[in-house]
Amino acid sequence: MNDKDLTRTADGPPDEPRHVEAKALILLVVIGALIAAFFLYVMYARGVFEKTQELVLVADDSEGVIPGMDMSFAGFPIGRVRQVELGKDGKVNILVDIPKADAKWLRTTSVFTLERSIVGETRLRAYSGILTDPPLPDHAQRPVLRGDAAAEIPRLVATAHTLLENLETMTRPDSHIGNTLANVDALSGRLTGRYGVLGTALGGDAEAEKLLQTLRRLDTLLAKTDQRVFGKNGVMDDTQGAIRELNGLLSDARGTLQKADAVLAEAQAVGKNARVATEDLGRLRGEVDASLRKVNRLVDEVNRKWPFKRDTEIKLP
């Protein structure tokens, strides 16, 4: 029995299916093709057949960056991180492969950010503001800006704490804002009161009443003044009469002045004649002086020649 069993095992089961070799061959070929196709698909999916250009992003911290992660532009993945290495300067170099077809979205002015969210993976994004700038060259090196939501939390909490404290201080019953609001309330109450803004500005209704009385008096005074000044037989009428008289006086004065002018012209002529006469008088005086000296000399002569009479009286001609 044992031998029979062994023989059976060696030769295979007696009810062997037909075309077993062909079926096995088909399976081998199909599965082989499937495996080959799968590997080709995975290689295609990993971008092995794509022409790429390299971009080196320089960061301070590589936390969350893993090879294989995507770099997205406007939500579309346009590149893949190939390698993350520590540079000689201690900075992290993130090597990104960008397919040539997608490289057009990156320009020399593009900005790259690395964002760590609280939930989910780290994201590498590119922003190109001006798409007309020159395209990003191959092997370009760019800094990457970090936006770390988790790192911001402590600062955010501290700020929120301060903010809440301030808010609490502000909303306390004895706070400045509370007092101000109370004043504003009183102010608005006054504004809507009998004397409105006037009462508010003067500090009370009594003061406003006084001001109003003063204004009324002033009004009456102004009416009276108007009547006295501009009314019939008022100051203005008198003034107009006076002005008219003044006008007449002025015209009279003008005539008088003209006459005086003529008198002055005549006086000038008289003055001129008098000057001429004065000049003649000077000459006459000179002549008189000369005649007197002659007479004097003559008397002296006579006196010397006629010593009898010492009569010094001289008789002018």
Question: In the complex, which residues of this chain contact other proteins (CB under 8 A)?
Answer: 2, 5-6, 8-10, 12-13, 16-17, 20-21, 23-25, 27-28, 31, 34-35, 38-39, 41-42, 44-47, 67-70, 77, 80, 119-120
Query: Cα angle at 307 between 306 and 308, to 5 degrees?
Result: 100
Nearer to other proteins, 36 or 236 (CB): 36
Nearer to other proteins, 67 or 178 (CB): 67
Q: How far is the CB of 30 from other proteins (least distance, A)?
A: 8
Q: How far is the CB of 5 from other proteins (least distance, A)?
A: 5
Q: How far is the CB of 164 from other proteins (least distance, A)?
A: 29
Amino acid letter, 11: D
Q: How far is the CB of 46 from other proteins (least distance, A)?
A: 4
CA distance 265 to 257: 12
Nearer to other proteins, 12 or 307 (CB): 12
Nearer to other proteins, 40 or 281 (CB): 40
Nearer to other proteins, 38 or 230 (CB): 38
Nearer to other proteins, 20 or 246 (CB): 20
Q: How far is the CB of 56 from other proteins (least distance, A)?
A: 21
